[in-house]
Chains A and B, each alone.
Chain A
Amino acid sequence: MRRAADRLFRVATGACAVAACAVLVGIVGTILWKGLPALDWDLLTAAAGETFGTGGLAYQILGTLLLVATAFAVATPLAVGLALAQASYFVRRSARERVRLLVQTLNGVPSVVLGILGFVVLVRYFAWGKSWLAGGLVLGVMIAPTMTVALAERVEALPRRYLDAARGLGLTRGQTVRSVVLPQTRSGLVSGALLGLARAAGETAPLLFTAAVFSGATIPGGIRESPVLALPYHVFVLAQDTADAAARAHLWAAAFVLLAIVLGLALAALPLRLRSSEEARHG
């Protein structure tokens, strides 16, 4: 009886785990299966065609890369500052807790709300209009918590003797951070950045009102009224009108490219994350 119950438990929970993994395989498999046939070199290097859902994705891809790069430039200093503000070696506990709560709160804000905030402040109040910079700023604020958590974890895991040695050598806090903390936690910064960028590359909601248009934009030349095309927004607009079979094929291919970028970034972060969790367990 006990044996049977135990076996049932193993099988039932195992089935749950397998089902969860099967969903991923199903999603990636479907996108591969449907997207691969429409994928060719022109799709990646040509500009969009005259009609809805034809031609290439070059400017959509470039626009997404520009947004992601901007988000990275915005989020990195934020994440470093916020991670240092939570470092137990430098900051007392009550202040640390408050910063942690703050980061958690920011992480909880729905991305569409951040997008509308960007719309009110940057697009309307600063009168930028739709602009790549507005989109990049919103995405940067959105991914800053992800990067902060990854970096703060590594800062906390830093062996205390390194910091004590730095202090013993008479280094100031600035020197300690620059020559000990940041170099030693680089893997946390990189893996957090890759994860955050994967999220930024795939997000649509913050771009709706701040940065993305469906057509008619190329490389932005300034800040004001300089929207970009973006891959997720492209898929989002096409998905609302899927009657045409040719447009469908184009749509699957665009989704494939998007998924490849996002999962590529997430996969690149994986070895670093695994190694650091190993170290945390054994080190």
Chain B
Amino acid sequence: MRRLRRFDPVRWMALVATLFVVAVAAGLVAIFAVHSLPVWRHSGSDYLTGTEWFYRAARFGVLPMLYGTLVVSGIAIALAGPLALGAALFTAEVVPERRRLWIKVPIELLAGVPSVVYGLLGVLLLRDWVYRLLEPFEPLSGDTLLTGGVLLAVMILPTVMTLADDALRGVPAAQRRAARGLGLTTAQTAVSVSLPQALPGIGAALLLGLGRAMGETIAVFLVVGRRDNQWPESVLSPEAWVAAGQTLTSKLGGSETFIAYGDPLHWGAIAGLALALTLLVAASSLVGSRLARRGASGGSDA
């Protein structure tokens, strides 16, 4: 930056805004890390590997909640990923430029629907559908990890689709024209030219969607059942998927966060959850944007 003698409002504004955001980000990590120290002193690594959470008995294990978060967001990606990719291929490769908006606009609006509205539809509709679907297995209720996952799939669909569409459209049009010139069909062009080149960007779209899913609170809170200590006997058995569970966010959004404040140990356990969630989401979105940048760096970056 050029050194200026006079007071420079532009530099000042940029600096203040940047420093403020740095303070928020650093403060967030520092506060949750420091506040969670009591629980590390109390439980040590059992905090991460323990499967029981009884705060009155001062037992804090986050594993069931980590499991819940991973299952719910895994289901969401598995359902939303293929659909979003298909839709993105359609808008980027098949539809003529002029008609794209017919699909892009509704999808953008879908991204704007508040999560509590999704949650409400989950409570009043999806929960009953899931219950009826699972009836042969005699479920206790429609509040299951699966319900949360399906709801999240709908919620992250626009994110994944928009980013995948951007990645596909980042492939230079000249290459597409060349492929068509060689006599390839639209499908062949998409699969053998566009898709391989857009792969990093599509991976990024999935990772960013995953981060979204892991951090989403309200909708999951309303349909996931919020039952603590649901640690399955076998991690891969889908039985636990159709039972109530708890995720990191549904725990953090619950009233326990209020109750815990004031008791350093209990609050430490909650702060640790917030820290774990932040790191998980940050990791997936940082890896995602790294991938996206690598995918894009083939193009121009002036």
Contact = CB atoms under 8 A, between A and B. Distances in A.
Contacts of B187: 5-6, 8-10
A250 interface: no
A154 interface: no
B123 interface: yes
A201 B83 contact: no
Contacts of A21: 103, 106-107, 110
B202 to A, nearest CB: 14
B157 interface: yes
A235 to B, nearest CB: 5
A184 B232 CA distance: 58
B137 to A, nearest CB: 24
Given A109-B281, A112-B253, A23 B188 contact: no
Contacts of A19: 83, 87
Nearest to B187: A9
A104 B289 contact: yes
Most chain A beta-carbon contacts within 10 A, residue among B10, B18, B93: B10
Interface in A88-138: 88, 90-92, 95, 99, 102-114, 116-117, 119-121, 124
A135 to B, nearest CB: 15
A10 B87 CA distance: 10
Nearest to B190: A9
Given A15-B86, A109-B278, A209-B258, A30 B125 contact: yes
Interface stretch (B39-47, B58-66, B114-122, B238-246): B114-122
> Majority SS of interface residues in chain A?
helix
A73 to B, nearest CB: 14
A176 B8 CA distance: 11
A58 B223 CA distance: 28
B94 A266 contact: no
Given A6-B185, A242-B123, A116 B257 contact: yes
A74 to B, nearest CB: 10
A84 to B, nearest CB: 4
Contact of B20 (A24, A78, A116): A78
Contact of B185 (A5, A119, A176): A5
A173 B8 contact: yes
Given A13-B86, A108-B282, A202 B14 contact: no
Most chain B beta-carbon contacts within 10 A, residue among A109, A110, A201: A110
Contact of B215 (A90, A92, A110): A110
A236 B221 CA distance: 10
7 contacts: A19-B83, A88-B302, A91-B1, A113-B274, A173-B8, A255-B120, A263-B109
